[in-house]
Chains A and B, each alone.
Chain A
Amino acid sequence: MAEKTISVDVISRVEGDGGIQVFTKDGKVDKVLVDIFEGPRMIEALVRGKTYTETLSLVSRICAICTVSHRNVSIKAIEKALKVKVPEKVKLLRELMHLAEYVESHILHVYYLALPDFFKQPSAIALLATHKETVVQAVVMKKYGTELMQLLMGRKIHGENPQIGGFGRIPTNEELDKFLENAAEYQSWVSAIIDLMATLPIPEYGVRDTTFMCCNPADGKFGFEGDTILISTGEEYPVEEYKKMTNERVVPHSYAKRSKYQDKPFSVSALARLALIGDRLTGEAKEKYDKYFNESWKSNPIYNNLCQAIEALWAFEQIPILIEKIKALPDPEMVIPEVLDGTATAAVEAPRGTLYHTYEIKDGKIVNADIITPTAQFLDDIEKYIWVAAEKLLAEDNPDTELHLEMIARAYDPCISCSCHMVKLVKE
């Protein structure tokens, strides 16, 4: 029997270390494995016995790209467990931090990691020769995001400024004002890239229906926080019931655990958010959503790149509004927890999907921790899309098979450090 293996040894332009293997038998796909080589770091085990403050420093280091999401969700869960109520200004500064990360992470992924595929180039640096203005805009916009993170977090990556009960140092109104200056111009740049990407041909190999999940912001607005999870099946559950949605299991080819909902792979992503609550967007981001989003996006993960760009546009619109609200409020004092025991789960939408943190705290120290990252949730879904795409690519004997498979994985913006890297074609 003719057997062959397509393998992408290492997926590039993703965060972390993984590969793709497609096994075929008699011209049909027999098995797909997204292998995760990133070694086990066992963060959940090592936070046990640590104070909640030490824990914040450890868990935010799960991932550099989404350090803010890990920090925000861990603060949220610990404050929920210890019944800490923080003043409005602290809440808004945390929201601003999260939006800064949406800018940083989405610009990095759309321009540096994904866009080179659309122009068949190996990297954003290679794009300098043909699309210099676009690359320079990307650098400038990402700088805006990382500098806003630096102001709020204390540095660009793994800042220690956000703490339980408040911030080490609250930024001044003058420091915040600097971020009002260019937001409108950056909106126009992102708007133009959305229009450009919408005209580029989108590969239609990995096409199938899936299930989407995301946090449901309680105020009926578009956002990244919620105490319940919306599912495209029409169901909605409190975040405390996260195990019902994720059903984590261990597979032998990956140090990232895997998730299924009702025995089926599902997606968490910018695409999931736009599919579920995209109609709640506002301003120009809503105009782009209305103009371009349609049913076909829901069955092709490549469109996640466009959804991320729309969310980046939304973030640039929201940041100035938020800064004005923050400036009007007085600087709060740090709130010290009075209760030192408790258990809680919190979820946020990291740029690449829903992120859950659960802590059981006793006498101010962590007794048990459970962290479920977006990548651990969608790896099964990537495998399914790769399966569908590989069948079509093999049938037409496509010379760019590995590239197309890698593009699917890359579109999810997997964060492999988070989940615990990624494709080469070997034809036998």
Chain B
Amino acid sequence: MWQREKKPVVGIFGFSGCAGDQLAILHMEDSTIDFFTSADIKFFHMAQSHQEVPKVDIALVEGSINTERQLKELKEIREMADVVVALGTCACYGGIQYLGEDVETFKERMEYVYGKSGEVPEFLDLVGQPRPAQPISEYIDVDIMIPGCPISAENFVPIYTKLISGLLPQKYPMPVCVECKYEGNDCFLLHGKYCLGPVTAAGCNATCPSIDISCIGCFGTYEGANYPSMIDKLKEIGLSEEEVIRKLKLFGGNKVEQALKGD
């Protein structure tokens, strides 16, 4: 880890996504000024200009990798950073734009949105040739994963505070169900309603079940998730296999795809 005589240098980088994880940092409100003053934030496009970065102690990386240009920049970030943190579900697992190729190919989707090749101009190398969305861990070593769509400040701040203090944060290996118990919520599954809480990483404080909305899995997969059992339970409730798989894949990204393939 870095020398403690000075504040650690932090860079915040964004690739493809909604910028919700960077915005979640700006939305910490009372803690926003502390965030910007407790470390040396050298790079944060969304909030500041005039930035040149040769090296950072901590890189917070948001978004999935969707172009050749982004892939090149990601590798440069890994080179110059001591610690790389994947910030948000897109960076951790690929996010909603990670959809595998089982239903239709990447080319077919590109054509649906941008038009048939030959009829529309080719994208310039300047903006980067398009690639199927992948999490950053597909291409570089990631030291810490902080999932969430978006991340929650309550989950992010303790991890970040440890990191800027030169400590490695502990893991938080719990499913949403544990937080639901803390919140005293009634269980959807016990009432025959679908919920992805048992296979979804905690960290949101069971936000949706607490307002009577089933967990949709936006924090991605929980390490100890038992997918065969989850699938059986949802089928028992009355969902078709196709529906179950579709719902699991909505935010599951590469991890769910690997789990379903039995990797």
Residues of A in contact with B (beta carbons under 8 Å apart): 10, 12-17, 35-46, 48-50, 54, 57-58, 61-65, 67, 108, 112-113, 116, 122-126, 128, 135, 139-140, 142-143, 146, 154-161, 163, 168-169, 250-255, 257, 406, 417, 421
Among the listed B45, B50, B149, B218, which residue makes an inter-chain contact with A17, where contact means beta carbons less than 8 Å apart? B45
> A253, B49: Cβ atoms under 8 Å?
no
Q: How far is the CA of A128 from the CA of B102 in the complex (A)?
A: 52
Among the listed A125, A158, A251, which residue makes an inter-chain contact with B33, where contact means beta carbons less than 8 Å apart? A125
Specify which chain B residues have a CB less than 8 angstroms from the CB of A123 in the assembled complex.
44, 47-49
Q: How far is the CA of A65 from the CA of B110 in the complex (A)?
A: 25
Closest B residue by C-beta to A40: B130
Specify which chain A residues have a CB less than 8 angstroms from the CB of B23 in the assembled complex.
15, 64-65, 157
Residues of B in contact with A (beta carbons under 8 Å apart): 14-24, 26-27, 29-30, 32-33, 36-37, 41, 44-51, 64-67, 69-70, 95-97, 99, 103-104, 108-110, 112-115, 120-124, 126-128, 130-131, 133, 149-150, 152, 204, 207-208, 211-213, 216, 218, 246-247, 250
Q: How far is the CA of A36 from the CA of B66 in the complex (A)?
A: 13
Q: How far is the CA of A156 from the CA of B17 in the complex (A)?
A: 17
Specify which chain B residues have a CB less than 8 angstroms from the CB of A37 in the assembled complex.
67, 69-70, 127-128
> A155, B128: Cβ atoms under 8 Å?
no
Q: How far is the CB of A349 from chain B (nearest CB, A)?
A: 19
Q: How far is the CB of A206 from chain B (nearest CB, A)?
A: 18
Q: How far is the CA of A16 from the CA of B44 in the complex (A)?
A: 11
> B47, A40: Cβ atoms under 8 Å?
no
Total residue contacts A-B, CB cutoff 8 A: 201
> A139, B149: Cβ atoms under 8 Å?
no
Can you sample 24 A-B contacts with CB below 8 Å? A13-B49, A15-B19, A15-B23, A35-B127, A39-B70, A39-B130, A39-B133, A40-B67, A40-B114, A41-B17, A41-B96, A42-B112, A44-B112, A45-B113, A46-B109, A64-B21, A64-B22, A112-B47, A122-B50, A123-B44, A126-B48, A155-B204, A157-B23, A252-B123
> B211, A168: Cβ atoms under 8 Å?
yes
With A40-B66, A45-B109, A54-B250 already in contact, the answer to whether A158 and B19 are too (CB < 8 A) is: no
Specify which chain A residues have a CB less than 8 angstroms from the CB of B130 in the assembled complex.
39-40, 255
Q: How far is the CB of A236 from chain B (nearest CB, A)?
A: 29
> A14, B20: Cβ atoms under 8 Å?
no
Specify which chain B residues have a CB less than 8 angstroms from the CB of A57 in the assembled complex.
216, 218, 250
With A64-B18, A168-B212, A250-B120 already in contact, the answer to whether A158 and B150 are too (CB < 8 A) is: yes
Among the listed B65, B120, B127, which residue makes an inter-chain contact with A253, where contact means beta carbons less than 8 Å apart? B127
> A49, B97: Cβ atoms under 8 Å?
no
With A12-B48, A252-B121 already in contact, the answer to whether A108 and B26 are too (CB < 8 A) is: yes
Closest A residue by C-beta to B217: A57
Q: How far is the CA of A233 from the CA of B69 in the complex (A)?
A: 41
> A157, B70: Cβ atoms under 8 Å?
no
With A155-B207, A157-B24, A250-B115 already in contact, the answer to whether A421 and B45 are too (CB < 8 A) is: yes
